[in-house]
């Protein structure tokens, strides 16, 4: 019995990791906003300190994707690692793209940016029900020239 339970948990963990990966690969990288309806729960709670006022449900995720893809249209997110336990999935990722559009009032710089982040998802009923996301906004702002680097600030 323990063996069967272990196999079931392993399959479930892998399925949960695949679902979390879809956010990056099928939603963000392609810009296909319809994917949000497939993978995000209607009452999805998004916890992102950089974007605290987004609506719940798929609409909030659509707004994130639209915001960043309009500012960095060539952005690709690479999933660098995942851990899953129970209904939780942690994903370590890096986004790389060129700042070619306005980002929250910051005009396009033409600079390349590389942003590292970690996202934790809670999966329920085959959908992403809750998300906590943290990423290097200060590094991104330095790379696009919106704020000075530590060296420039000291000069």
Band (pLDDT 50/70/90 cuts) for residue 109 is: very high
Alpha-carbon distance values, 118 to 110, 135, 147 (Å): 25, 6, 23
7 three-class SS: helix
- The boundaries of the domain holding residue 111 are 2-154
Residue labelled with tokens 């929250």: 104
Tokens of 5: 């339970």
End-to-end Cα, the chain, rounded Å: 66
Band (pLDDT 50/70/90 cuts) for residue 108 is: very high
From the list 16, 54, 47, the residue with the least C-alpha distance to 132 is: 47
The CATH number of residue 45's host domain is 3.10.450.50
Over 87-138, what HEC string results? CEEEEEEEEEEECCCCECCECCCCCEEEEEEEEEEEEECCEEEEEEEEECHH
Mean pLDDT for all residues in the chain: 92
The predicted pLDDT at position 155 comes to 65
The predicted pLDDT at position 52 comes to 85
- Mean pLDDT for the stretch of residues 123-133: 97
pLDDT tens-place string over residues 54-81? 999 999 999 999 999 999 999 999 999 9
pLDDT tens-place string over residues 1-15? 444 444 445 559 999
pLDDT tens-place string over residues 27-52? 999 999 999 999 999 999 999 998 88
Q: For the chain, how many structural domains are there in total?
A: 1
The predicted pLDDT at position 69 comes to 97
Name the pTM for this structure: 0.88
pLDDT tens-place string over residues 77-86? 999 999 999 9
């Amino acid at each position: 019995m323990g063996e069967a339970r272990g196999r079931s948990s392993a399959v479930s963990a892998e399925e949960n990791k695949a679902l979390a990966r879809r956010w990056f690969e099928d939603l963000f990288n392609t810009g296909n906003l319809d994917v949000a309806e497939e993978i995000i729960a209607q009452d999805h709670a998004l916890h992102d300190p950089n974007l605290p006022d987004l609506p719940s449900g798929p609409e909030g995720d659509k707004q994130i994707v639209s915001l960043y893809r309009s500012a960095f249209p060539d952005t690709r997110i690479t999933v660098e690692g995942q851990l899953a336990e129970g209904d939780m999935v942690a994903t370590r990722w890096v986004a790389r793209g060129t700042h070619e559009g306005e980002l929250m009032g910051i005009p396009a710089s033409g600079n390349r940016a590389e942003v590292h982040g970690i996202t934790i998802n809670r999966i329920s009923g085959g959908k992403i029900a809750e998300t906590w996301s943290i990423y290097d906004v200060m590094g991104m702002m330095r790379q696009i020239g919106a704020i000075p680097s530590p060296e420039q600030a000291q000069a």
